[in-house]
Structure 1
Amino acid sequence: MTRTAVIAGQGALPGLVAEALHAPSVHALDGFAPDIPARSFRLERLVPLIESLLDEGVERVVFAGAVRRPRLDPEAFDPRTATLVPRMAAAMAQGDDGALRELITIFEEWGLPVVGVDAIRPDLIPGAGVLTGAPSAADRGDAARAAEILAVTGGLDIGQGCVVAGGLCLAIETLPGTAAMLDFVARTRERRPGGVLMKAPKPGQDRRIDLPAIGPDTVAQAALAGLSGIVWQAGGVLLLDTAATTAAAEDAGLFLWARG
């Protein structure tokens, strides 16, 4: 049976992935602890981490959970990881997607292939269709507009989400994340409710890492923002707990739509 390492970030996703694996080796970037037990590591000691995984008999790696760029301590680098600094710095200068691509490349150069969450939990990525509720014609128009916006902002490596109401963009997801974006909408929009939250991976994104995710918390935040529903690109977004998320949407009167 293939031994898998979970490189974990914050949230419930690492646990959902780990529970589908036999004896996973779970490691979390320092400062971004998941909801399950994990051994902490620092990016400045990436090579020792990779070597320890190989020593454990790990044969593949999956990344799961939310992280942000850590602050690197120049004095914390071990000599071998230090040789990777020029590559890592150049990749980070290209944006988050470039940095993640380089991280995948480094693991695979050491003989550890990286697989996507969908290879382990395909059930977390629903196909096209409306899960609950009924998007109106206005909602569908807002979704189409949101998809156009994300095709542009995603191509610039800015974010994976936006909020559109009445054809107008109320907010774009940036580094602080989806919760911060929805909180901004809740605090600044006019009283008239409506509109959609749209989530989608960036165009050309390596889908083995950093897929956008939706869960019950997203539904609660969207409801507070006065939205009509949540729409996402079918096949490209993780639904962390279908039953709980659908129940939360039904209670809040929101639709959930995987847009094909």
Structure 2
Amino acid sequence: MSRIAVIAGQGALAAAVIAELDQPLVYALEGFAPEGVDATDFRLERLMPFLDHLTDQGVGQVIFAGAIRRPRLDPKLFDPRTVQLVPRIMMAMQSGDDAALRAVLDVFEENDLKICSVSEIAPALIADSGVLTGQPTDADQSDAERGAAILAVTGPLDVGQGVVVAQGQCLAIETLPGTEAMLAFAARHADLRPNRNGARGVFYKAPKPGQDRRIDLPTLGPDSVTQAAAAGLAGIVWEAGGVILLDRAETIRRAEAAGMFLWARPASEL
């Protein structure tokens, strides 16, 4: 049986995935290794020698886990084979980071390395549909529907995977700074709700339409609850089967302590 390699990105996901596997090989782009994870560094400028190394180690499957930002490339470090990929990747980058990452994944697969999704390798991290705690009101359900509609439009533009909606109004959209920045913005502007005594609003999260779900799935966890509670929101809603839920027990505990609901909304309702 072939070995599994984890490409560890920043955040808590890599450690959670590694814990689900039996002695995987762990690597990280230089400068992007997550805290507390023992990973061997590699550089994108030497991608082809890195893929040769994976093959030599008997690796047949690769899983990307965690956030990976676009690295700053050093032209002096490219090897002759990797430099031939630059025009192809640069062309993909013109369509956004998602397209660039897919181009890199294509190179992995062309070298007989299967890209696996979190749902394949660690299905316990993907929440099935249902309300995990609390109970969304009719107004909350309406706000979740509005959030899904907003992301259906912004997602194809490679903007983000999260939105805050209160009383039908969009208070914040996730952009490059990430979820924490979005929720902090929503907290600062909570008084913009049309009715201050009305529905408090929801944080809705989902993959981008057409997203390659083997990589960069949205992730929620205990810190998401803490940040959403600080924004005064009633709960968190996400697309069931399309979002990674880290440390489920602690996430539910924090939601219950904050009086918030957690709802994995079936994709059929989107």
TM class by shorter chain equals over 0.9
User: Structure 1: how far apart are the matches of 2:149 and 2:245?
Assistant: 22
After superposition, residues 189-228 of structure 1 pair within 5 angstroms as 189-190=190-191, 192=196, 194-228=200-234
Give how far 1:20 is off. Answer: 1.9
1:62 aligns with 2:69: no
- Residues 98-129 of structure 1, C-alpha deviations (whole Å, 9 max, x = no match): 11211211100011010101111101111111
1:240 aligns with 2:246: yes
Residue 230 of structure 1 corresponds to 236
Identity of aligned residues (%): 63
* RMSD of aligned alpha carbons: 1.3
Residue 4 of structure 1 corresponds to 4
Give how far 1:32 is off. Answer: 1.6
Could you tell which deviates more after superposition, 132-141 or 40-49?
40-49
| Count of residues paired in the alignment | 260
- Residues 9-63 of structure 1, C-alpha deviations (whole Å, 9 max, x = no match): 0112111111222221100112221231111122111112111111111111000
Residue 154 of structure 2 corresponds to 153
User: Structure 2: how far apart are the matches of 1:67 and 1:224?
Assistant: 27
1:259 to 247, 254, 265: 265
Residue 14 of structure 1 corresponds to 14
Unaligned runs of 5+ in 2: none
Unaligned runs of 5+ in 1: none
3-state SS of paired residue (1:190): helix
Q: Is contact 1:232–1:257 with CA below 8 Å preserved after alignment? A: yes
User: Structure 1: how far apart are the matches of 2:144 and 2:185?
Assistant: 19
* Letter matched to residue 89 of structure 1: M
Residue 124 of structure 1 corresponds to 125
* Letter matched to residue 182 of structure 1: L
Q: Is contact 1:135–1:255 with CA below 8 Å preserved after alignment? A: yes
3-state SS of paired residue (2:59): coil
3-state SS of paired residue (1:145): helix
- Residues 53-77 of structure 1, C-alpha deviations (whole Å, 9 max, x = no match): 1111111100001122222222222
Residue 30 of structure 1 corresponds to 30
TM-score by length of 1: 0.97
User: Structure 1: how far apart are the matches of 2:225 and 2:257?
Assistant: 10
Q: Is contact 1:200–1:232 with CA below 8 Å preserved after alignment? A: yes
User: Structure 2: how far apart are the matches of 1:166 and 1:76?
Assistant: 53
TM-score by length of 2: 0.93
Q: Is contact 1:5–1:60 with CA below 8 Å preserved after alignment? A: yes
Give how far 1:243 is off. Answer: 0.7
* Letter matched to residue 236 of structure 1: G
User: Structure 1: how far apart are the matches of 2:120 and 2:139?
Assistant: 36
User: Which portions of structure 1, spanning 4 or more consecutive aligned residues, are displaced by more than 3 angstroms?
Assistant: none
3-state SS of paired residue (1:205): coil
3-state SS of paired residue (2:165): strand
3-state SS of paired residue (1:37): coil
User: Structure 2: how far apart are the matches of 1:32 and 1:227?
Assistant: 32
User: Structure 2: how far apart are the matches of 1:19 and 1:251?
Assistant: 27
Q: Is contact 2:171–2:189 with CA below 8 Å preserved after alignment? A: no
User: Structure 2: how far apart are the matches of 1:222 and 1:2?
Assistant: 41
User: Structure 1: how far apart are the matches of 2:41 and 2:257?
Assistant: 38
* Letter matched to residue 169 of structure 1: C
